[in-house]
A and B are shown apart, each in its own frame.
Chain A
Amino acid sequence: MALYLQAIVNGILIGGVYSLMAVGLSLIFGVMRVINFAHGDMMVWGMFLSFWLFTTLGVDPYLSILATGTAVFLLGAAVQRGLVSRILSAPHEMQILLMMGVALVLENVALMTWGPDPRRVNVSYGLTTFWLGPIVFDLPRLVTFGMALLLGLLLYLFLSRTDLGRMIRAASDNQTGALLVGTDILKVFTLAFGIGAACVGAAGSLMTPLLPFTPSSGILFTLTSFNIVIIGGMGNLLGAFVGGLLVGVSESLGAVLLVPSLKEIVGFVLLVLILLFRPQGLLGGRR
């Protein structure tokens, strides 16, 4: 019994970060209908920036999310302005190829810059744990989960309470309508891509105390995010959050109930079921 509880706890905690990762992807898709295949690589860039700030200046990764968030925001905005904006009306397969190309460039520049070694940010509390009965809680995972929730909440407030946020939602709901009332769509797109990237960059920083990473880790993060977004409902932010938790818990329980090497299958079986029976995703609306 304790084992199952432990698995659920682990699943929820890792699921929180999955959620933050996926929210960015979902936001970008929701606004622009473009799937950011460089998503995981942007996350890896966030991780390496955090690692670099930690090793050179001793900045705690939980603080460096401000810097990495900003840096990856700029990266995302630049990718949008320079590349994505040119192919917004092109067919989907063109967009996918472009984003794959961006992913390749980001991965290999990271490889050239930081080398192929797995890195880990050795914060002093990185391995701190505490016990509640037989269940172990791991402090960085708990903090990471909390921060991911907080950032998710901030994003929600931004989108629902500020003018900029309303503009983004308007552009996402009805582009023509938004244009008609005078929204600067280009600006909104750049902003949305930037924010989506910033989310995943910040998620990268938050992950560094938990996970060793290498420049080639990106593709795995992209796949996980993509899976979560489809399960939750493409473009639906709450859906991405729920999807993240769901995938986290189901993988974790899968590792206990099935063979752990099959745990990733559980997430994808979920995906197939969703596509078969609820193609718009769990919380996907009208589209």
Chain B
Amino acid sequence: MASNSRARGVDRRTLLKGMGAASAAGLVGFPAIVRAQAREIKIGSVQPMTGLLAVVGKTTRQANQLAVDHVNAEGGIKSMGGAKLVLVPGDHQYKPEVARAETERLMREGCHVLTGAFDSGSINAMIQVIKQSSNPIPFVIDIGSADQLTQQGVKYVFRVFTTNDTMGRRGIEYLMDLFKTSGDPCKRAVMFQVSDLFGQVGRERTMEWHKKLNAPFEVAEIITYPAGTQDLSTEVAKAKAAKPDLILAITRPNDAILLVQELYKQRLDVKAVVGPGNPGFYQPTFARALGKLAEHTMANAPWWNPKSALGQKVAADYEKRYGDPFTTESAWSYQGVRVIADILERAGTTDPDKFVEAARKTDIKEHVVSGGPIQFNEQGDNIGASSSMVQIREGRPRVIYPKEVAEIQPVYPIPKLWERG
């Protein structure tokens, strides 16, 4: 393994020397060498496979794998002689220090590209490794929303996923439209927020856009609670005292279940329960665990595009193979690997600098995720990335916003939690 990576390093250096010394004509020979060598392209997939986010890691890894299998079934990377993609697994455990060690290991084992990693804190640690390495490799973030990730001037980092800023904006826009069309707006919101980095950034962006867009409802109280809490009864009692008609909740998967359970028990009479840009409500486990109580809950999230033929096909494949509905995690982790394959196809080599060059020219019109064509800007963000609002209907999240891709009309105000039989 180690010798493999050394061999690759020498190649790159030779290539760079070649670029410095020789004329453009001298370069022609090099891609041929690289092409002959890379029969197998290793993608390091760093996901939270154990720890508090394990439920997410399972999904993202499955989706990475599905995309790899699809690409290989279609004949691999054709410009590189049909080279096959191979997924090399890594587990960051929702701990930045582990993410760092795993990244170093994967680079040592000769991975050509990295993808991952859902948790912004862990992604940040991975970027630092690439930044400090004398042999950096490209990192295509499949999921990771904190705005600052791509703002560190590391040219090998690209992000397919939607930023917190875009999510915050869309969340408020969709809500305002929902209130306006219904003619029965919510006036008073209580926000629940899990107090980790993700929850904090999510709340800041949501509140920022709430203010900028002059949203016609007041956020009466913000209730933060510790990640991994075992009890939300008192928090909900506190929310109830504020008499809200809208619950905005920035949660993680487990506490989303706990929260809705308590809203029911304490009979909170609200017109909507909405996740303004976070996991929790749309995950299959939420509807499975809560049944009728999960119905009509809304979540704004970077989603998959149910109107695209490709999206429908991949969603069906995914569900058939893994038995879970296609969601944010599966869609974007799938797309992440497809973007890598697209770039490799155009670069015709695994050379990191050529990869970066090709990545800048990315323009993928047909894809499975929310938003427009996938194109990367200067700092490596996907300018097409957007989010959709979904509502749980009969146990499945269905798109209600934006209207162009909506599958179903929203139900609003939602039926009372305790009158659902």
Contacts and interface: CB of A to CB of B under 8 A. Distances in A.
B235 A255 contact: yes
B264 A127 contact: yes
A183 interface: no
Given A115-B58, A116-B58, A260-B234, A3 B241 contact: yes
B234 A261 contact: no
A88 B228 CA distance: 33
Chain A contact surface mostly: helix
A214 B55 contact: yes
B224 A255 contact: no
Q: Closest 6 interchain pairs by CB?
A: A116-B54, A261-B224, A261-B195, A120-B289, A255-B234, A212-B257
Interface of A: 3, 6-7, 10-11, 14, 107-108, 111, 115-120, 122, 127, 129, 136, 138, 211-217, 220-221, 224, 251-252, 255-256, 259-261, 263-264
B237 interface: yes
B312 interface: no
A11 B237 CA distance: 12
A211 B223 contact: no
B228 A220 contact: yes
A6 B231 CA distance: 13
B329 to A, nearest CB: 12
Nearest to A118: B254
B55 A118 contact: yes
Chain B contact surface mostly: helix
Contacts of A211: 230-231, 258
Nearest to A7: B234
B57 interface: yes
A117 B253 CA distance: 9
A108 B264 CA distance: 33
Contacts of A111: 50, 54
Contact of B261 (A6, A127, A215): A127
Contacts of A259: 224
Contact of A3 (B231, B238, B285, B291): B238
A10 B231 contact: yes
A122 B224 CA distance: 27
B51 interface: yes
Given A213-B254, A260-B238, 14 more contacts: A111-B54, A116-B55, A116-B57, A118-B253, A118-B285, A120-B290, A129-B266, A211-B230, A214-B52, A216-B50, A220-B228, A260-B235, A261-B195, A264-B229
Nearest to B254: A118
Contact of A260 (B50, B223, B291): B223
Contacts of B293: 127
Nearest to A18: B230
Contact of B257 (A115, A118, A255): A118
A252 to B, nearest CB: 5
A216 to B, nearest CB: 5
Contacts of B258: 211-212
B75 interface: no
B238 A264 contact: no
Nearest to B324: A117
A129 B231 contact: no
Nearest to A119: B289
Nearest to B253: A118
B233 interface: yes
B265 A136 contact: yes
Interface in B221-247: 223-226, 228-231, 233-235, 237-238, 241
18 contacts: A3-B237, A3-B241, A10-B233, A111-B54, A116-B58, A120-B290, A122-B291, A138-B265, A211-B231, A212-B254, A212-B257, A212-B289, A214-B55, A224-B230, A252-B231, A252-B234, A255-B234, A261-B195
Nearest to A104: B50
Interface centre among A6, A120, A261 (most CB of B within 10 A): A261
A217 to B, nearest CB: 8
A123 to B, nearest CB: 12
B54 A216 contact: yes
B260 to A, nearest CB: 10
A3 B288 CA distance: 32
A259 B261 CA distance: 21
B202 to A, nearest CB: 14
A263 B226 contact: yes
A138 B359 CA distance: 56
B291 to A, nearest CB: 7
A13 to B, nearest CB: 8
Contacts of B235: 255, 260
Contact of A216 (B52, B195, B261): B52
Given A136-B266, A212-B254, A263-B225, A6 B237 contact: yes
Contact of B50 (A108, A117, A213): A108
Contact of A117 (B51, B55, B225, B265): B55
B289 A118 contact: yes
A134 to B, nearest CB: 10
Interface string B261-296: 100111100000000000000000100111101000
A256 B236 CA distance: 10
A258 to B, nearest CB: 11
Nearest to B289: A120
A224 B230 CA distance: 10
